[in-house]
Every structure is written in structure tokens, then in C-alpha cells.
Amino acid sequence: MAETVLTNPGHSTARLEGWRGIAADWASDQRAFKNVSWGKAMMWIFLLSDTFIFSCFLLSYMTARMSTTVPWPNPSEVFALNIAGNHIPLILIAIMTFVLISSSGTMAMAVNFGYRRDRVRTAALMLATAAFGATFVGMQAFEWTKLIMEGVRPWGNPWGAPQFGASFFMITGFHGTHVTIGVIFLIAIARKVLRGDFDVERRGFFTSRKGYYEIVEIMGLYWHFVDLVWVFIFAFFYLW
Amino acid sequence: MTNAAVHMEGQLHAPAHGAVATGAVHASGQQHPIKLYLVVWGWLFVLSTCSYLVDYFGLHGYLRWSLILLFMMLKAGLIVAVFMHMAWERLALAYAILLPPIAVLVFVSIMVLESEYTHFLRVLFFATPS
């Protein structure tokens, strides 16, 4: 064992699978996550904690909605739009969902091209992802503006239970913040990819560590998580 | 074991798709064919359309809720398994990340009981007497 490579260690030749593998990995020396770098493991653990944050938001929304005696505003009507004279229910949210799913697709392919060391395509796909993300945030800003103009406040709204506004602004606000941070993160990493930082192993400005293409995958984990959270928000807040 | 050996093993990652990994690209880490991502992407579009149609056609009651949950879980599963590569990670990581959220379900059941109790009290004491 000359030197441990922490960035991209592969399978050991004799590594157990299944339940025995779990027991062996967790009982082993030094590291439980054998073929995962610390960066990726930490991103997963961060995402797990973020899962609990969003779970608590959705739970408090559920509690408010279940315990109120006032009728809950119908999201299908609240988020309807008039397009070319047609009244289409929930259409804005549907478009936002498709935009975010598209961004997840481009991100997944960016990760793929990153591991093939295709600099230009990786950066282009990441910038496309960022553009989709920015579009999403823009549509969310439009949605917020529309609802605020119609009189929705965190303490009340014209249609029913006053907790609707508080839940809406809290949940979509936190999600929108995550998307915004993701867009900034994407642009920063795309710049590094395009400049070839990960080909020449240039050291980072803040960390003085060498970067690897794996950061594209770690970035991707964050971005897919943002999409994942939207899946749950879409189901529980908008469709329920 | 030398560094070179470790990197060689990295190429052999992804047992399900190891056979189709092209030899030309020097791949490391998660490497899967683009087609897989496109197929999953297509399914996510289909499932999103389905969940939107649940609202568009105005389905109600248990049919609506079960369909919403079904499409939600399918979408979440596809994203986590394929886009986030959890299907190819070692079980030690997969279980460490995927099991703790089950605790949320316990929390959900506690809060369902709690909010039903609150609702009951509100109906009992605050609802307008008929």
C-alpha cells in the first residue's frame, strides 16, 4: 500500500456484498464508505440533513392544514392562469416542474461528460442547467408577485385558512433559495471546468486543494436533490 | 496496491453497465451510458405529466391521493437511484442515507394524531354553535 488515493478509489478486489458487506464496511478500520470520497460522502450527509429540514416544513404544513377548521384554499384554482383566453388550472406549476426536470436531465449528462473529461460539453450542459434553474427562479418570482398582488400574506389570504400564506412562502421560499444557491454553485464549477482546472489539477482559491472532475458529480447530487424536493412539494403542496 | 491499480479498479465500477463502458474514454467514478439518462429523463416527463393530469381531470378522494403518492414515489426513486447514482453505490452508503428519513414517517404519524386532536378541540370549543 504505497499511498491511499482518496479521490477516486475503486472496489477492492475482495469486498463483500450484501448484508455482510454493510457489516464489514461499518466495522472496518478508518472509513465506512469504502469507494466514496469524503467530498461525496459529506454532500450526501448534508443532503440527508436538508431532507429533515424540508420534511419539517412539509410536516408543519400538514399539521396546519389538518388541524384548521377553515377550508384550505384550492391550489388548483389559486395557481391557475389565463392563457390565450383559456383558464388552465395549475399550469404555471406544471411548467415549473418540467423546467426543473429538464435541468436535472442536463445535469446528469454533464456529470457523464465530466468523467469523460469532455470539458466543453460538461461546461455547456452545466450552464444549460443553470439557465433552467434561473428560469425556474424567475417563474417563482412571477408566482410570488401574482399571489402578493392578489392579497396573499403570511397571516392571511382572500380564500380561506390564513396558514396557507405562511406555508406557501416558507416552503417555496426555502426551495427557491436552494435553487438560487445551486445556480451560483453551477456557474462557479462550470467556470472551473471550462478553464481546465481539473485537467491541470489547479489548486482552488480558497482551499488550496486540487480539484477533480468528481466535483461535477457532487454538484450534481445537490442539484438533483433540489429537483427531488420539488417532487415532494409539487405532490403535497400543489396537488394534494 | 499501487495508485495505478486503484484507478484500474475505478474503471471496473458500475457492475450493471460495466460491459458497455467504452474503452476509448479513460473513465473513472460513475460512468453509465447516456441512453440510460435519456430514458430516465423521458420517464420523469411522463410521470410529471401523469401527476399533472390527476389535477387537470379533477380526480378526488383516495384515488387522487394514491395516484399522487404513486407518481411522487416513482419520480423520487428514479432521481435518487439513477441520477444520483444510488443504485450503484455500496450498500453501506445507501442504507446510511436512505434509512434515516424513515424516522420522518414516525414524525408524520405523531403529527397526524396531534392535528386530529387539535381539530377535534377546535370543533368542540371554537366552531360556531348550530
pLDDT tens per residue, range B78-130: 999 999 999 998 899 999 999 999 999 999 999 999 999 999 999 998 876 54
A86 interfaces chain B, CB cutoff of 8 Å: no
Number of domains into which chain B is organized: 1
Residues B97, A48: C-beta atoms closer than 8 Å: yes
Mean residue pLDDT of chain A comes to 89
Domain-embedded: residue B119: yes
Residues in B closer than 8 angstroms to A3, CB to CB, are 3
Residue B26, pLDDT score: 44
Cα–Cα distance for residue pair B52/B31, rounded to 1 Å: 33
Chain A 36-55, residues with CB within 8 Å of chain B CB atoms: 36, 41, 44-45, 47-48, 51-52, 55
Q: What is the ipTM of this complex?
A: 0.86
> And the C-alpha cell for A74?
384550492
Domain-embedded: residue B123: yes
Residues B72, A97: C-beta atoms closer than 8 Å: no
> And the C-alpha cell for B63?
384515488
The residue among B27 and A100 whose pLDDT is bigger is A100
Domain that holds residue B108: 100-130
Q: In this predicted model, what pLDDT tens digit does every residue of A20-36 receive, in sequence order?
A: 888 888 888 878 888 88
Residues in A closer than 8 angstroms to B85, CB to CB, are 217
Query: Which of A21, A98, A115 is closest, CB to CB, to B91?
Result: A21
Residue A211, pLDDT score: 83
Q: In this predicted model, what pLDDT tens digit does every residue of A5-25 receive, in sequence order?
A: 455 555 555 788 888 888 888
CATH classification for the domain delimited by A38-239, as one of 1.20.120.80, 3.40.640.10, 1.10.540.10, 1.10.530.10: 1.20.120.80
Domain-embedded: residue B91: no
Q: Structure pTM?
A: 0.85
Residue A76, pLDDT score: 86
Q: In this predicted model, what pLDDT tens digit does every residue of A66-122 receive, in sequence order?
A: 999 999 998 888 888 888 778 888 889 999 999 999 999 999 999 999 999 999 999
Residue A28, pLDDT score: 85
Q: In this predicted model, what pLDDT tens digit does every residue of A160-205 receive, in sequence order?
A: 899 999 999 999 999 999 999 999 999 999 999 999 888 888 888 8
Domain-embedded: residue B72: no
Three-state secondary structure readout of chain A: CCCCCCCCCCCCCCCCCHHHHHHHHHHCCCCCCCCCCHHHHHHHHHHHHHHHHHHHHHHHHHHHHHHCCCCCCCHHHHCCEEECCEEECCHHHHHHHHHHHHHHHHHHHHHHHHHCCCHHHHHHHHHHHHHHHHHHHHHHHHHHHHHHHCCCECCECCCCCCHHHHHHHHHHHHHHHHHHHHHHHHHHHHHHHHHCCCCCCCECCCCCCECCCHHHHHHHHHHHHHHHHHHHHHHHHHHC
Domain-embedded: residue B2: no
Domain ranges of chain A: 38-239
The residue with cell 419520480 is B75
Residues in B closer than 8 angstroms to A211, CB to CB, are none
Q: In this predicted model, what pLDDT tens digit does every residue of A173-185 receive, in sequence order?
A: 999 999 999 999 9
